[in-house]
Amino acid sequence: MTALPPIMRTTAARLSALYLILFTACAVVLVVYVSSLSTRMLTAQTREAILEEVSGLGRAYQRGGLPRLVRVMEIRARQPGANLYLIADPSGLILAGNVESLQPGVLDDPGWTARAFTYRRFGEGESPGEKNHSAVAQIIRLPNQMILLVGRDLGEPEQFRGVMRRALVVALGMMGFGALLIWLFVGRRALRRIDSVSEASRQIMGGDLGRRLPVTGAGDEFDRLSENLNLMLDRIAALNEGLKQVSANIAHDLKTPLTRLRNRAEAALSRSADPSAAHEALEQTIAESDQLIRTFNAILMISRLEAGSSADSTEDIDLAAIVADVVELYEPVAEEMGVALGFKVAETVRVDGNRELIGQALSNIVDNAIKYSAEATEKPTVMVSLHTDAASARLVVSDNGPGIPAADRERAMERFVRLEASRSQPGSGLGLSLAKAVMTFHAGALELSGKNDGLSVAMVFPKGKSK
């Protein structure tokens, strides 16, 4: 498309121009059709009137010959009207009638004049400003070679054509006005709303993230569009807020170990006289770094799971086998901490899943359960069990530790949240959130519950092919 002037780049102007062209074309066609039709009708009427006159005069001629014809004609010629009468001798000299002079050559051929001719009416004189009139006529040669002309002035049809022309001009003017109105309505009202939407989005892009697109309350397409875009902006803002929260948490949770790391190195440096103390400080530094790497890995993994889809990385796996693996892995630790770790698994339970992820999530949960049940008043016990029903498979880890108050359970699954009661325990605070991310990845859920003492963490898998 070639470059248009700026005004033509608005939809309103283009629409208006289109309407204008369309309506003008329609109007021209209509006017041309009506005027040609009516011209034809008027011509026919004129000719009919002339024929009537001719037959009237013909009767007079039959009855009384030329003198009667002339007399009747003189009477008729004196009456006001558009009719023209004329008798001329064979040479074309005008003898009687109401025509003073004619365009030359009109009387040469008998019959209808081929086209309109000009004439001067008798008695009009030659005063300037008086124009020749135009007329159509029938020329008849009388038996005595005299020429009779009966005609009719064309003033009326011409007037009519003038009216038509004026009507066309008025119609075109109205079309233009209509186009202007359309531009005013579409451009000024509707398109200004689109402009306000783009203005608002520019401001949002410019950093005013709290701003929303205008909603007028009219409930039309523009409002629906704005409302949906606003919902989208809200969602983005919520995600952004979550990201900020997590960044702040990461900064806080990494700052503490990093500071500790630095202080330890500094202290080791100032006590460099004692090689064994320095060695020990280095070992602690490495252990601390490992913990940091572990935290980082957990954060990365959660982001990966939250961003990823489960396509391609899941397969048909046996949950019971994973339970057996994890329990076997943790059994020595549990024994060392004086916790009885057991599992109740009746049969193989197959789900569509990722063995690695489920194994890691389950170990996090079992790890937590062992740590917290060690604080139990009675004999510390952790039980892993696997139940299935028609819709889902539930992998439940229960302990008899202090549990989590119902109000705090939802929060416990958030990243970095370590409830006050657990501050004394080592850990990154990412275990449950990682497990939750794994369950979300599997289109399942992580549910926390518990009665009296203890906590039950259930990994709920949808049964059958979830994809």
Partner 1 sequence: MRILIIEDDREAAGFLKKAFAEAGHVADVAVDGETGFALAEEGGYDVFVIDRMLPRRDGLSVIAGLRAKGDTTPALILSALGEVDDRVTGLRAGGDDYLTKPYAFSELLARVEVLKRRAGSRDVETLYRVGDLELDRLSHTVKRNGQEITLQPREFRLLEYLMRHAGQVVTRTMLLENVWDYHFDPQTNVIDVHISRLRGKIEKGFDKPVLHTVRGAGYMLRAD
Which residues contact partner 1 (rule: CB under 8 A)? 282-283, 286-287, 289-290, 293-294, 296-297, 300, 303-305, 308, 312-313, 325, 328-330, 332-333, 336, 354, 356-357, 359-360, 363, 367, 441
Q: Do the beta carbons of residue 249 and residue 416 sit within 8 Å?
A: yes
Rounded to a whole number of angstroms, the minimum distance from the CB of residue 331 to partner 1 is 9
Rounded to a whole number of angstroms, the minimum distance from the CB of residue 1 to partner 1 is 41
If we measure between CA atoms, which residue out of 452, 450, 455 comes closest to residue 382?
A: 455
Measured from the CB atom, is 53 or 367 closer to partner 1? 367
Q: Output the CA torsion sign for 52, 58, 63, 65.
A: positive
Measured from the CB atom, is 38 or 425 closer to partner 1? 425
Rounded to a whole number of angstroms, the minimum distance from the CB of residue 427 to partner 1 is 9
DSSP string for 146-178: -EEEEEEE-HHHHHHHHHHHHHHHHHHHHHHHH
If we measure between CA atoms, which residue out of 379, 376, 316 comes closest to residue 349?
A: 316
Measured from the CB atom, is 119 or 372 closer to partner 1? 372
Rounded to a whole number of angstroms, the minimum distance from the CB of residue 317 to partner 1 is 12
| DSSP, res 347 | S
Measured from the CB atom, is 60 or 384 closer to partner 1? 384
Measured from the CB atom, is 199 or 290 closer to partner 1? 290
Measured from the CB atom, is 237 or 301 closer to partner 1? 301
341: which strand partners?
382
Measured from the CB atom, is 353 or 450 closer to partner 1? 353
Rounded to a whole number of angstroms, the minimum distance from the CB of residue 332 to partner 1 is 4
Q: Output the CA torsion sign for 253, 257, 260, 261.
A: negative
Give residue for tokens 């329609």: 26
Q: Output the CA torsion sign for 122, 127, 128, 130.
A: negative
Rounded to a whole number of angstroms, the minimum distance from the CB of residue 308 to partner 1 is 6
Rounded to a whole number of angstroms, the minimum distance from the CB of residue 361 to partner 1 is 9
Rounded to a whole number of angstroms, the minimum distance from the CB of residue 252 to partner 1 is 19
If we measure between CA atoms, which residue out of 418, 414, 435, 295 comes closest to residue 364?
A: 435
CB atoms within 10 A of CB 314: 20
Distance of CA 19 to the CA centre of its chain: 23
Measured from the CB atom, is 321 or 445 closer to partner 1? 321
Rounded to a whole number of angstroms, the minimum distance from the CB of residue 425 to partner 1 is 12
Distance CA 50, CA 42 (A): 12
Measured from the CB atom, is 269 or 282 closer to partner 1? 282
Distance CA 384, CA 322 (A): 11
Measured from the CB atom, is 331 or 375 closer to partner 1? 331
Measured from the CB atom, is 103 or 425 closer to partner 1? 425
Measured from the CB atom, is 154 or 302 closer to partner 1? 302
Give residue for tokens 């139990």: 376
Q: Do the beta carbons of residue 363 and residue 326 sit within 8 Å?
A: yes
Rounded to a whole number of angstroms, the minimum distance from the CB of residue 321 to partner 1 is 11
Amino acid occupying residue 330: Y
Q: Do the beta carbons of residue 413 and residue 458 sit within 8 Å?
A: no
**Residue 195: which residues within 8 A CB-CB, separation 6 or more?**
none
Structure tokens of 117? 């001719």
Cα(first)–Cα(last) distance of the chain, in Å? 47
CB crowding 431-445: b at 16 or more within 10 Å, else e: bbbbbbbbbebbebe
Rounded to a whole number of angstroms, the minimum distance from the CB of residue 403 to partner 1 is 21
Rounded to a whole number of angstroms, the minimum distance from the CB of residue 435 to partner 1 is 12
Give residue for tokens 């109401």: 98
CB crowding 37-67: b at 16 or more within 10 Å, else e: eeeeebeeebeebbeebbeebeebbeeeeee
